[in-house]
Amino acid sequence: MSNNFWCCLVKPVCKKCSKALQELENIDDEADQLGIGFVKIQDEDLAEEFNLGELPRLVYYRHQIPIIYESE
């Protein structure tokens, strides 16, 4: 796995989550060219453990350092 990747935490049944995953799919090829990977995690307990708030939540790991993406 690359040092740079997006982690998308989602709920199993969630319209906002599905939309977020679709948007990430739109940029997947470009991200691959830049060496940026994508990981999808369906684990609400994990999101709660790290106080990530409401799902979906995107976290970008740059050189193994998490950066939480804030958006509406």
Domain span holding position 27? 4-69
Residue with tokens 């939480």: 68
Per-residue pLDDT of the chain (72 residues; tens, 9 = 90+): 568 899 999 998 899 999 989 988 898 889 889 989 999 999 999 889 988 888 999 999 998 899 988 876
pLDDT at position 8: 92
What CATH number is associated with residue 42? Answer: 3.40.30.10
What is the distance between the alpha carbons of residues 48 and 34, in angstroms, rounded to a whole number?
Answer: 31
Tally of domains in the chain:
1
Dump pLDDT digits (tens) for 38-50: 999 999 998 899 8
Counting beta carbons within 10 angstroms of the beta carbon of residue 57, is it exposed (0 to 12), middle (13 to 18) or buried (19 or more)? buried
pLDDT at position 18: 92
